[in-house]
Amino acid sequence: MTIPLLSPFPGKPSVAFDAVDTWVFDLDNTLYPAHHDLWFQIDARMKGYISDLLGIPPDDAFRIQKEYYRRYGTSLRGLMIEHGVEPDAFLAHVHDVDLSGLDASPRLAAAIEALPGAKIVYTNGSERHARNVLEKLGIDAHFAAVHDIVAAEFHPKPTEEAYLRFLRAHGVDPTRSAMFEDLARNLEVPHRLGMVTVLVVPPDETIAARESWEFEGREDAYVDHITEDLAGFLETVARQAPPPVSEQG
- In the predicted model, is pLDDT for residue 88 greater than 90? yes
10: confidence class by pLDDT, cuts 50, 70, 90: low
Cα–Cα dist 211/162, whole Å: 23
pTM > 0.75: yes
Task: Report the phi/psi class of residue 153: left, alpha or beta, with left for phi > 0 and alpha for psi in -120 to 50.
Answer: left
246: confidence class by pLDDT, cuts 50, 70, 90: very low
- In the predicted model, is pLDDT for residue 6 greater than 60? no
Read off the DSSP letter of residue 154: T
Question: What is the tens place of the pLDDT at every residue in 146-160?
Answer: 999 999 999 999 999
pLDDT, mean of residues 100-112: 94
Which one, of 164, 126, 119, 155, lies nearest residue 140 by Cα? 119
Question: What is the tens place of the pLDDT at every residue in 32-60?
Answer: 977 777 888 999 999 999 999 999 999 99
- The pLDDT value recorded for residue 207 is 45
